[in-house]
Chain A
Amino acid sequence: MSQTQTEQPTRLLLVDDHPMVQGGLSACLSFYDDIEIVGMTHDGKDALEKALALKPDVILMDISMPSMNGIDATEIITDSLQDTKVLIFSMHDSPEFVTSSIQAGASGYILKDTTSEEVYYAVKAVAKGQTHFSSSIAKMLIDKPARDTSQKLTTREQLILTHVAQGKSSKEIARILNISFRTVEAHRRNMKSKLNIESLAELICYAVDHGLVEK
């Protein structure tokens, strides 16, 4: 996994709502030889397709985008591509965004107002399997830790819960979502533990109670 500057460059996919930001950033990153920008896209759904097709090392992911936000896209991508790391690159600086991103499987979170140099270091760190957070983000997480979100379902888990409540088996869900059977099972286990629920019946009840499916 480990890469040095003399080895193969890190393959990077840029996902950003705004083409001008993308342009500016790619201009900056072009000064670094060990980063190769393999693709760019402007929205979450397109990012999913590009990620599956290009299998980049790192995806620099914006959050606010039309059609699908970056956090939901991150969750789906990290479900499907084990070797692709996602680095959130956003204007949002609330701890809730950061924790939601971490829950969704992001390896790091940097703010758009950081320097391109930090973007470079963050991309390299994440590519090595480390995590990276902007210093202001890290400081904020220490100063005012996000409120307890560990019990909250992620968008992906909520979607799977909906399917479960509609009577679908893990196999079917895996086929629908184009992920492995084991991933679906892992999500289900995770949900049960978050909701403190033992049985499938209770899981379905919960989904009905909360209006996830029509009775």
Chain B
Amino acid sequence: MTLPFRLLFIAVLQVVLTSILTYFLVTDEYRDLSSQSVDTLESFLIEQKHRELQNYTLLAVSAMSDAYENSAIDDDEAKAQVTEIIHAMTYSGNDGYFFVYDGEGNGVVHPKEPYRVGQNWWELEGENGDKTIQILIENAKAGGGFHRYPWRKPSADEMSEKMGYSVYLEKWNWMIGTGVYLDDVNSQLNKLQREIDQHINKTKQIILVVAMSSIFVIFLLGLILNLSQKKKTDQKISELGLKIINMQEEERRHISRELHDGIVQVLVSIKYSLEATGLWLKKAKVDKPQPLDHAQSNLQDAISEIRRISHHLHPRILDELGLSAAMDALATEFSEQTGITVNVTKPAVRKLVQNSISTTLYRVVQESLINVQKHARASEVNIEMTIKDKWLTLTIKDNGQGFDADNNSKGDDYGIGLRNLAERVEYHLGEFSVHSSQAGTQVTARIPKTSYANTLPVKEGPAE
């Protein structure tokens, strides 16, 4: 019992540990991979945005290049013309537009937030403290550059992260820039992150399912193992029980024989010696002394007593005359003691079965009769032994009250006796059954012919 349990425990522990380890390894690896792919995607998308911005800016610059190239430094007409062009240029719906600030941070063009024009935004700060306009101008002066900063998104009318690109028009001391909002990039990245998280979750579930089913299988196997082991143990116990019964029966037979054929015979011989002494004294015309009489009668008592014990241990009639005669004797004895009528029907042949089987069947009759006497309140018992269709069938049927309903308290010893009998009959490959109703109890024991026929002795005559 303890070994399978420990094995089971170890197996389950192993599965649990493996699952946990696998889970952490897999998710860790996954997170690594996912953060790599998110980074890759982000840099790809940003790269794309960069190119986009550069292209738009190039477009804007070339759109105004006619006016700008041919203008002087303070050519207000050209500036107004360019302002108009830039003001009108939009792309990507509402959110793509161009803006212009001069080198000091004064707003020059801003199609979406006109209030910025004509005012100075040099000190304008983003959330992280960056001076947005200053950086844009710096980038522009450096020959074009990118900067990420928070800005109001026109289409959504709320703050959003924006990537700005700016170039510098040296002649006019203007910074021209444009930008795209990064929320679609972020949403793409978030989506990817979500997908990855879902994937990890799914993996987690798969591992959980695999682990649970493994544990279930282990438990099932353990249960089966346990059951089969229990069955084996039970079988061993019952075999042992039978062995004990057989040994006990053999021992009883042996002791009974020793008593009856040994000690009793010695006592009988002593009895005859004493008688011979008496006869000798009589012949010598001497009166028989009283102690001799006592010895003779005491000896007689001793003989009777030992014979009684011997018979109780094992009925010799079973060995000498066979089962039918032994059943007859048992029935007669039982009727005498209890007043219950016992009818015995048996086949005309004798000594068909070997000793162990006939002893078993004898004990079946004996135990059944004891039960009848104790519990049945019957007036008649029918014992029938038949040989038919390759089966030897023995039934003991009484007309009593049955035993299942009223005799619960006595049911235990009743049951054990019957179970022992069943095992002993089954040991000879036979069948044993008990049917009890209010009309009486019937005990049936059947032994297949194959269990005894091949051991049949054919007795030889004197000439052989």
Contacts and interface: CB of A to CB of B under 8 A. Distances in A.
A144 B332 CA distance: 7
Given A64-B320, A149-B328, A210-B387, A28 B463 contact: no
A56 to B, nearest CB: 16
Nearest to A22: B269
B272 A76 contact: no
A176 to B, nearest CB: 6
A133 B230 CA distance: 60
A178 B463 contact: yes
Contacts of B1: none
Nearest to B388: A209
Given A20-B266, A96-B328, A27 B273 contact: yes
Nearest to B344: A147
B456 interface: yes
Interface residues of A, number: 58
Contacts of B347: 210
B350 A194 contact: no
Interface string A52-65: 10000000000110
Contact of B272 (A28, A49, A214): A28
B416 interface: no
B291 interface: no
Interface in A1-59: 17-18, 20-25, 27-28, 30-31, 45, 48-49, 52
Given A100-B325, A152-B324, A210-B387, A27 B464 contact: no
Interface string B313-325: 0001101110011
A95 B321 CA distance: 11
A127 B273 CA distance: 25
A134 interface: no
Given A24-B271, A28-B272, A49 B462 contact: yes
A65 B461 CA distance: 16
A135 interface: no
B370 interface: no
A113 B268 contact: yes
A27 B454 CA distance: 46
Contacts of A177: 461-463
Contact of B350 (A28, A155, A195): A155
Contacts of A155: 350-351, 459
A64 B265 CA distance: 11
Given A63-B320, A69-B320, A17 B279 contact: no
Given A147-B331, A210-B387, A211-B352, A94 B462 contact: no
Return the 3 tightest CB-CB contacts between A and B, nearest first. A24-B272, A20-B269, A178-B463
Given A91-B264, A147-B344, 7 more contacts: A20-B270, A28-B276, A71-B320, A95-B332, A97-B320, A113-B300, A178-B463
5 contacts: A71-B321, A179-B461, A209-B388, A211-B449, A214-B454
